[in-house]
Chain A
Amino acid sequence: MHEAQEAAAAAVTLPDVPLLDVRDLHVEFRTRDGVAKAVNGVSYGVRAGETLAVLGESGSGKSVTAQAVMGILDSPPGHVTGGEVLFRGEDLLTMGGERRRRLRGAKLSMIFQDALSALNPVMSVGAQLAEMYSVHDGMTRKDSRAKAVQMMERVRIPAAKERAGDYPHQFSGGMRQRIMIAMALALEPDLVIADEPTTALDVTVQAQVMDLLAELQREYRMGLILITHDLGVVADVADRIAVMYAGRIVETAPVHALYAAPAHPYTAGLLGSIPRLDHKGKELHAIKGLPPSLTDIPAGCPFNPRCPRAQAICRTDRPPLFDVAPGRASACHFWKETLDDAG
């Protein structure tokens, strides 16, 4: 109740403050082999009802950023070394542990990639769902079980009442991911982070799960951060895109503008590497090379060793995020040329 009032107050006095505002976040992993700089000054914001897609290869820091926001970084070796994570204007990183715990799951929650390993194998799905209500809202066992079944029906699990006593391994991949979604949305959070929610699923099931997530998001007017490496998923549901590379955001733009004309060679490379029906028979352009090791990120622009446009300046000067258009930015010295070529 208290938090709801706070939210209302915040909404009245600070209408322009985004739901989540990540500012200059730095995360590093201190391992025996050296310090891996996983996130190097990431900033992004999400408003209520908005979907932000965070795009990038594995190791680009997209999941680590999300874990830092949720406060579930493996620590050690992971450490947040700088920045702010403002949730409705309040910094999650400096807030007390107990207060932050109460927000987790209730106000901001997370959907994990592999529901089979992310759900507790020895606890019935009904009990795992009911736990949300009994722990956060202090509901009785009976009430929380009833709510759990309701939530299972909400994500369209057939025969929810009978299946609430079943264990995760007894469900299909798609159904398990629905349970994962039900758990994340159980307390109608303001913000949901979905970390590759459909990667582990069959293509046909992917679409169903994605549609369900989008539908529930509209209904609850949640902010959604969709972490993915799948450009196809992004186009349908996202409002804005942030493309990450080597722990930095290299381009951020409204989804249609980015698809129409990327302003960063890396984004252009990603778009060029999707197989398309109308390009049948033509060459598929893969980005050459591999992402850099996070213990040894190249000087200048981290993408320069793989970039077709790289000049001398790219090897020495790290490009800041240049404003390309209202709501658009690109961390490329040659964003103008990239944009022109694409257009």
Chain B
Amino acid sequence: MGRYVIRRLLQMVPVFIGSTFLIFFMVYALGDPVAALFGDKAPDPATAARIRQELYLDEPLWKQYGHYMGQILSGNFGTAFNGQPVTELMADAFPVTLRLTLVAILFEIVFGITLGVLSGLRRGRSADTTVLLLTLIVVSVPTFVSGYVLQYLFGVKWGIVSPSVSPEAPFDELMLPGIVLALTSLAYVTRLSRTSIAENSRADYVRTAVAKGLPRRRVVTRHLLRNSLIPVVTFIGTDIGALMGGAIVTERIFNIHGVGFQLYQGILRQNSPTVVGFVTILVIVFLLANLLVDLLYAVLDPRIRYA
């Protein structure tokens, strides 16, 4: 197990370097940050050259990247062009998005798995068909539609929740955005667990468990669920990474000042240090989430652990 972890950690290094370099290249090499800094006005050539030198922009790209990475590893993500350190933006944005992700993941786990298991055990009956149909509808409706509709219904028309989230973003205000963010994945989790349960309930070892005279409850929880949830756990794990960075639409709708919001602003204003900094962190989050999934997989399935 220890060797497995080390191997997985080492594999993360090239992935990290490769993906961050790609982002760095796209943001810095394909645009002119200095021009962006001056907006519509053309910069004075002397000033522009000075800034370029200060920011190492006159050096070759790989050197720029190396310099940038060196800074990042010492905790310096640079300054956004408005003078605010990027780390400060992160300190504000990441906790908010983390809470939002947490809410969304909880919804996925609780409702997605429950619905999936129940419909999987009743495969082919009306409850199963209804759930399948519902998930199909949820998957087909884009987030900006479901987001605005739910916001209007719950926040404006019925006034059950606040339609927009305050800067502190407490958990209770994040419930509705969390549901909106979770909806699509929730539908996938439901379908995935349903299929997995339905398939595994025909497995030989389930029949053995029944033949052993175990109560149905134990057959389902100890034998069927444990085996069926392995792919579901994998999906939810990778979804953590996706939700952390992919909340741009939801965060815009509910005015949540999280990662998606900052990224959107950064891209819109060509604020390169913000974009590269945030994405670098997201790459790390994504890699860690995947590592977590692989470790969890090994814990859940002994056939992987000893491979």
Closest to A119 in B: B205
Chain B stretch 46-102: residues in CB contact (< 8 A) with chain A = none
Complex: how many Å from CA A135 to CA B222?
12
Chain B stretch 275-307: residues in CB contact (< 8 A) with chain A = 300-303, 306
Complex: how many Å from CA A136 to CA B212?
9
Asked if B223 and A120 sit within 8 Å, CB to CB, the answer is yes
Chain A stretch 102-157: residues in CB contact (< 8 A) with chain B = 102-106, 109-110, 112, 114, 117-124, 131-132, 135-136
Interface presence of A336 (CB below 8 A): no
Asked if B226 and A123 sit within 8 Å, CB to CB, the answer is yes
Asked if A74 and B205 sit within 8 Å, CB to CB, the answer is no
State how many angstroms separate the Cβ of B229 from the closest Cβ of chain A.
10
Closest to B209 in A: A120
Asked if A183 and B212 sit within 8 Å, CB to CB, the answer is yes
Closest to A107 in B: B213
Interface presence of B218 (CB below 8 A): yes
In the complex, chain B residues whose CB is within 8 Å of the CB of A112: 204, 207-208, 211
Interface presence of B2 (CB below 8 A): no
Complex: how many Å from CA A103 to CA B301?
31
Interface presence of B1 (CB below 8 A): no
Asked if B211 and A105 sit within 8 Å, CB to CB, the answer is yes
In the complex, chain B residues whose CB is within 8 Å of the CB of A199: none
Complex: how many Å from CA A170 to CA B207?
21
Complex: how many Å from CA A136 to CA B209?
13
Determine which of B214, B222, B230 lies in contact with A105 in the assembled complex, contact meaning CB atoms within 8 Å.
B214
Determine which of A118, A135, A170 lies in contact with B208 in the assembled complex, contact meaning CB atoms within 8 Å.
A118
Q: Give per-residue flags for B188-210: 1 if the beta carbon is below 8 A from chain A beta carbons, else 0.
A: 00000000000000111101111
Interface on chain B toward A: helix, strand, loop, or mixed SS? Answer: helix
Contacts A74-B202, A122-B300, A167-B303; A131 near B208 (Cβ below 8 A): no
Complex: how many Å from CA A260 to CA B234?
60
Asked if A122 and B301 sit within 8 Å, CB to CB, the answer is yes
State how many angstroms separate the Cβ of B47 from the closest Cβ of chain A.
65
Q: Give per-residue flags for A76-110: 1 if the beta carbon is below 8 A from chain B beta carbons, else 0.
A: 00000000000000000000000001111110011
Asked if A105 and B302 sit within 8 Å, CB to CB, the answer is no
Q: Interface residue count for A (Cβ, 8 Å)?
A: 30
Contacts A114-B204, A135-B218; A121 near B211 (Cβ below 8 A): no
Complex: how many Å from CA A74 to CA B201?
10
Contacts A117-B204, A169-B303; A122 near B211 (Cβ below 8 A): no
Asked if B213 and A118 sit within 8 Å, CB to CB, the answer is no
Asked if A131 and B303 sit within 8 Å, CB to CB, the answer is no
Interface presence of A72 (CB below 8 A): yes
Asked if B223 and A106 sit within 8 Å, CB to CB, the answer is no
Asked if A122 and B226 sit within 8 Å, CB to CB, the answer is yes
Interface presence of A244 (CB below 8 A): no
Complex: how many Å from CA A102 to CA B209?
13
Interface presence of A70 (CB below 8 A): yes
State how many angstroms separate the Cβ of B167 from the closest Cβ of chain A.
46
Asked if A122 and B227 sit within 8 Å, CB to CB, the answer is yes
Asked if B227 and A121 sit within 8 Å, CB to CB, the answer is yes
Interface presence of B14 (CB below 8 A): no
Asked if A103 and B204 sit within 8 Å, CB to CB, the answer is no
In the complex, chain A residues whose CB is within 8 Å of the CB of B223: 120, 123
Contacts A167-B302, A170-B306; A117 near B203 (Cβ below 8 A): yes
State how many angstroms separate the Cβ of A159 from the closest Cβ of chain B.
17
Asked if B204 and A72 sit within 8 Å, CB to CB, the answer is no
Contacts A122-B226, A167-B303; A109 near B211 (Cβ below 8 A): yes
In the complex, chain A residues whose CB is within 8 Å of the CB of B45: none
A residues in contact (CB < 8 Å) with B: 70-72, 74, 101-106, 109-110, 112, 114, 117-124, 131-132, 135-136, 167, 169-170, 183
B residues in contact (CB < 8 Å) with A: 202-205, 207-215, 218, 222-223, 226-227, 230, 300-303, 306
Query: What are 22 pairs between A and B in contact, CB < 8 Å?
Result: A70-B211, A72-B210, A72-B211, A74-B202, A101-B215, A102-B213, A105-B213, A109-B212, A109-B213, A118-B205, A119-B205, A120-B223, A120-B226, A121-B227, A121-B302, A122-B227, A122-B303, A132-B212, A135-B218, A167-B306, A169-B302, A183-B208
If A112-B207, A120-B209, A123-B222 are given as contacts, then 9 extra A-B residue pairs at C-beta distance below 8 Å, sorted by A number, are A70-B211, A112-B204, A117-B203, A120-B227, A122-B230, A131-B218, A132-B212, A167-B302, A183-B208
